[in-house]
Amino acid sequence: MTPDRSPFPFSAKILRRAALWAALALAPQTGWAQEGEGQLRLTSRSGSLSLTGSFLGYDGRYLRIATEHGELTLPLASVTCEGAQCPDPETWVPELRLSGAGRLGELVLPALVEGYARARGWEPARVETEDGHALYSLSLPEAAEGAEEAETAQSAGRERLRISFRLTSTEDGFADLLANEADMAMAERLLGAEELTLARDAGLGRLDAPGRLQLVGLDALVPVVAPGQRLRAVSLSQLSRLFAGEIADWSRLGAAAGPVRLHLESETSGQMQGFEALVIEGMGRSLSQEVVRHADAEALAEAVAADPGAIGMLPFGRLGATQPLALSGPCGLRSTARPETVATGDFPLTLPLVLYRPMRRLPDTAEAFLGWIATAEAQLVLRRAGVTGLAPIPIPIEDQGARLAGAVLSAGEDVKLEDLQRMLTAFKGHQRLSTTFRFEAGETALDAVSRSRVVQLAQSIRDGRHNGDALLLAGFSDGRGGPVANHDLSLERATAVRAAVLSLLGGALPPGVTLDVAAFGEAMPMGCDDTETGRGINRRVELWVAPQG
């Protein structure tokens, strides 16, 4: 359930930039006229209307300015523009400014930019800016000798798109978005309730709405220890107590006696903020003052691998020489970080890598790049970059023995043998796809990441990737309610996903595609219900597929 208050405290930087932006947007016109520099005067072609404002952006057709009336967007062709910042459509180069999490800006998105350039036949050039950040310039290559197309020859060497990266943190990326110093914020965690409210108040719209949150990929935080450590698994509760300093000796977890030493990345890491919010503050504890901080994942991995008493949290795929631990629970379930458990979100500490974009226009070439991220070609780039992408991973039922065994072992009075038989009968001839939808506590409201996944599923159906398929949306619940209520709630959730997909498809499925629903309540838990994280994993709708005969 979304908390009433954000688990991520605001920095002075965020609040200061929000205040400055509000002052700019509401400043009187006379103040701008006196300042002069950086201001624009726009006059309608008829001369009947004149506006003075501060330049905010241009997308190739529309000019965005801050005026005494608030932020305005209007076609440049409809006005005469006076001022040093008036864009020239003939020489203007589209630009996309990205700011935020270094995990995205250092490796993941640059790899996507270069992959996109190759796909378009463009040449990418990377330039390190004076402030230590990066700028990519994507251009058409010089025309080959004897090129027949005049347009290609004339456009050779022309810059098509600039993409700049300001590598800071999720928090700073959000602050830059508020200050109009970035077009999109790169984030390693979801924004909190107060941050979303601040964005709405600043005129950025609902940043958690479909189209505003773009899911780039999925990552996970994995507990790691030194090679040779006797411990093989730890529960979320034990992990919370370890990093709160309540468990200070390994003997209390059945390992060889010795002091526990705690390691995390820096406080500015969005993933570390997400970990602290979910596992420390979310369980009513405070982070230990004894935690050793590291500048990056590589340094953390080296420190943990060299210290038999160490435990740390590392991104999936960047574990180095450490020994990863599975996550277990008192109900007997155990989850190991693997590509399929991260892709499904079944691993409890799965975290999204996302781009947040406000309600404003972007250049067409920037939109094309953002749209390309969801393609199969881009998914290969993400995989090479060590990130779990968005492409559905097929998981045959014969590879789900541990899940099915867990369902049998965890069955109690509320889950009978005939319930499990009914579930297995429904899945006969199907295989699970990693696309999974999750919900707020006790509700049929999809969470922010799942709303993005609904859009992706609708697009894949529309684009023909499921032609001839029988799709099944299988709903599940946590175990807190009674069996009838849980069955009904899981059915409502599966039905809600189907309705959302159909709405995006105009109310009907393409010929040859079916999309049915089924509900199994608490029949196959993926996490233990002793924590909110475990319950959240269980509140889900899975996507299963079978080719139609």
Shared domain check, 434 and 361: no
Angle at which helix 376-384 crosses helix 109-120, to 10 degrees, equals 140
Burial zone of 396 (CB within 10 Å; 0-12 exposed, 13-18 middle, 19+ buried): exposed
> Could you tell me if residue 87 is inside a domain?
no
Shared domain check, 373 and 327: no
Shared domain check, 253 and 272: yes
| 28-42, 220-234, 324-338: segment of lowest average pLDDT | 28-42
Shared domain check, 539 and 399: yes
> Could you tell me if residue 421 is inside a domain?
yes
Residues 6+ positions from 537 with CB-CB distance below 8 Å: 345, 346, 348, 438, 526, 527
- Encoding tokens for residue 222? 């994995």
> CB neighbours (10 Å) of residue 288?
17
What is the identity of the amino acid at 205?
Answer: G
pLDDT digits (tens, 9 = 90+) for 454-494: 988 999 999 899 999 999 999 999 888 888 999 999 999 99
- Residue 116 CA to residue 112 CA, distance in Å, equals 6
Q: Given pLDDT bands bounded at 50, 70 and 90, which one contains residue 33?
A: very low
Shared domain check, 263 and 161: no
Shared domain check, 234 and 208: no
Number of H helices, E strands in the chain: 18, 24
> Could you tell me if residue 466 is inside a domain?
yes
> Could you tell me if residue 530 is inside a domain?
yes
Q: For residue 121, what pLDDT is reported?
A: 92
> Could you tell me if residue 148 is inside a domain?
no
State the CATH number of the domain containing residue 453: 3.30.1330.60
Q: Mean per-residue pLDDT for 385-396?
A: 87
pLDDT digits (tens, 9 = 90+) for 104-144: 888 899 999 999 999 999 999 998 877 767 899 999 886 54
- Residue 5 CA to residue 192 CA, distance in Å, equals 8
Shared domain check, 316 and 301: yes
- Encoding tokens for residue 388? 């779990």
How many residues does the structure list for the chain? 549
- Encoding tokens for residue 442? 């006790």
Q: Given pLDDT bands bounded at 50, 70 and 90, which one contains residue 5?
A: very low
> CB neighbours (10 Å) of residue 234?
20
Shared domain check, 300 and 310: yes
pTM over 0.85: no
Burial zone of 505 (CB within 10 Å; 0-12 exposed, 13-18 middle, 19+ buried): middle
412 has pLDDT over 80: no
Q: Which helix (H) or strand (E) covers residue 293, if one does?
A: strand 292-294
Nearest to 326 by CA among 406, 246, 419: 406
Q: Given pLDDT bands bounded at 50, 70 and 90, which one contains residue 154?
A: very low
Shared domain check, 543 and 398: yes
Shared domain check, 421 and 403: yes
DSSP 330: T
Residue 277's domain comprises: 219-339
Shared domain check, 253 and 299: yes
> Could you tell me if residue 89 is inside a domain?
no
Nearest to 66 by CA among 16, 96, 22: 22
Nearest to 188 by CA among 449, 439, 536, 373: 449
Q: Mean per-residue pLDDT for 335-360?
A: 92
Q: Mean per-residue pLDDT for 173-184?
A: 92
Q: For residue 21, what pLDDT is reported?
A: 47
Q: For residue 409, what pLDDT is reported?
A: 64
Q: Given pLDDT bands bounded at 50, 70 and 90, which one contains residue 184?
A: very high
396 DSSP β-pair partners? 431
- Encoding tokens for residue 529? 């219900």
7 has pLDDT over 70: no
Shared domain check, 409 and 542: yes
- Residue 476 CA to residue 39 CA, distance in Å, equals 56
- Residue 471 CA to residue 491 CA, distance in Å, equals 15
> Could you tell me if residue 37 is inside a domain?
yes
State the CATH number of the domain containing residue 8: 3.40.190.10
- Encoding tokens for residue 97? 């400014």
The count of structural domains within the chain is 4
- Residue 63 CA to residue 86 CA, distance in Å, equals 9
